[in-house]
Amino acid sequence: MRTTLLLVCGFLFTAGIGLHGQWLKLPTPGLPRLPDGKPNLEAPAPRTPAGKPDFSGLWKNNSGDRYYNNIAADLLVSDVEPSAHALFTKRTLEFSKDSMETQCLPLGPAYLTTRYREFRIVQTPTLVLFAFSDGMHREIFMDGRSLEPDPNPTWMGYSVGHWEGDTLVVESNGYTDRSWLDYGGHPHTEQLRITERYERPSIGQIHVHLTLLDPKVYAKPITLSMGISLAADTEMLEAVCENNQRSRERMAQTKAAKVAQVPASVLARYSGTYDTDDDGTKHFVQITAEGTSLWFDYDGKGRELLIPLSSTQFSWAGAVVEFSPGAGNAMNIAMHYAEGTERGARRK
């Protein structure tokens, strides 16, 4: 469980307007069906008249929060320029109060990894359009043009695409350095360049492989893969961000936490697998101690570095992870979110 603080989605339900009036349960036209009427999401992907995969449809990222929290999750801390890592830590400990979400600004590169924005792909021979639920859009030009070498920076950057067999390859540049790469706050320069490779192995899935290059900040390319799922038999609701300035002012007045120094021997006591309960939904958490670093893996999505606030409390993308001893060798874990607390105990 992990939600973006202060992101308010404005859904207006007025008297006399039912859910059926907003097409939320309308069957998606053209989808192959199983005998029970459900979509056959394993069916072959559709193709365009030119024989290329057709990516058109309503989609949602199903890869979890790991890269959205921390785009550099697979890098070593030493691979990140020291001032950039310090800025990421500072922003995380401030609960990302200056993030794009809290300021109601476009997410920029973070649209690629967030699961909090549905998007529709509209594909034509010369243009692929991404329309996001928050009203932003992105254009990928397929008409053979090249990226400008020195573009005017924008929130969404500039994108051109081409085909390599059945793979749609997208190259982008021109992102303003005001945007963040993730919710935690990793920065980038205007030299950022992103390559995306899209494959559609079935009607219900897109596989995306990303490479981000910004050698002024990151010693290695950031590479990652994600799964995107078709949102079948529903429609996209408008999600308007309403900037709650009072809440943001309270966040700014909150005293920022500081990074604590915790001995390796203390961190080692927390290692193990924990079973947790989130309002009846079962999850598991793998905690790994490596020297003076503590790693957190939620439901097998991949490791994320915890930032120590004290010997028992750690920051996980703004949420607080807390350990407490039980009887004997038992150890308990609690994840404190804005919405409540998820608790569990270490397996014996």
Cα–Cα distance measured from residue 287 to residue 295, given in angstroms and rounded to the nearest whole number: 6
| pLDDT score, position 39 | 96
Q: Which of 186, 206, 230 is the last residue of a domain?
A: 230
Q: Which CATH number is 23's domain given?
A: 2.40.128.20
Residue pLDDT, tens place only, 34-47? 999 999 999 999 99
35 within domain boundaries: yes
Q: Enter the pTM of the model.
A: 0.84
Q: Average the pLDDT over 5-15 and give the result.
A: 36
One domain, residues 301 and 192? no
Cα–Cα distance measured from residue 153 to residue 136, given in angstroms and rounded to the nearest whole number: 16
One domain, residues 65 and 134? yes
Q: Which CATH number is 275's domain given?
A: 2.40.128
5 within domain boundaries: no
Q: Which of 205, 230, 255 is the last residue of a domain?
A: 230
Q: Which amino acid is at 261?
A: Q
Domain count, the chain: 2
Encode 96-129: b = buried (16+ Cβ within 10 Å), e = exposed.
bbbbbbbebbbbbbbbbbbbbbbbbbebeeeebe
What is the span of the domain harbouring residue 172? Answer: 19-230
* Dihedral sign, Cα of residue 173, residue 179, residue 183, residue 185: positive
Residue pLDDT, tens place only, 277-308? 999 999 999 999 999 999 999 999 999 999 99
Instruction: Tell me the pLDDT of the chain averaged across its residues.
Output: 90
One domain, residues 206 and 280? no
Q: Average the pLDDT over 40-65 and give the result.
A: 96
CA-based max dimension of the chain: 67
Question: With 70 as the cut, is the pLDDT of residue 342 above it?
Answer: yes
Q: Mapping DSSP to helix (H, G, I), strand (E, B) and coil, where does residue 97 land?
A: coil
- Closest by CA to 73, choosing from 60, 63, 58, 62, is 63
Q: Which of 204, 230, 256 is the last residue of a domain?
A: 230
256 within domain boundaries: no
Tell me if 219 sits within 8 A of 195, measured CB to CB. Answer: no
One domain, residues 292 and 225? no
- Closest by CA to 108, choosing from 146, 52, 157, is 157
pLDDT classification of 250: cutoffs 50, 70, 90? low
Cα–Cα distance measured from residue 301 to residue 181, given in angstroms and rounded to the nearest whole number: 19
One domain, residues 72 and 141? yes
Q: Quickly tell me which residue has 């993730």 as its tokens.
A: 182
- Closest by CA to 308, choosing from 106, 93, 146, 152, is 93
73 within domain boundaries: yes
Query: In the chain, where do the E strands start and end?
Result: 57-61, 119-123, 127-132, 137-141, 158-164, 167-173, 193-202, 205-213, 222-230, 272-278, 281-290, 293-298, 303-308, 313-316, 319-325, 331-336, 341-346
Q: Average the pLDDT over 119-141 and give the result.
A: 97
One domain, residues 193 and 311? no
One domain, residues 50 and 110? yes
One domain, residues 174 and 293? no
| pLDDT score, position 241 | 85
Higher pLDDT, 10 or 346: 346
Query: In 97-252, where do the E strands start and end?
Result: 119-123, 127-132, 137-141, 158-164, 167-173, 193-202, 205-213, 222-230
237 within domain boundaries: no
Q: Quickly tell me which residue has 């973070």 as its tokens.
A: 110
One domain, residues 219 and 336? no
One domain, residues 214 and 273? no
Q: Mapping DSSP to helix (H, G, I), strand (E, B) and coil, where does residue 83 land?
A: helix
Cα–Cα distance measured from residue 278 to residue 343, given in angstroms and rounded to the nearest whole number: 7
One domain, residues 225 and 319? no
One domain, residues 76 and 155? yes
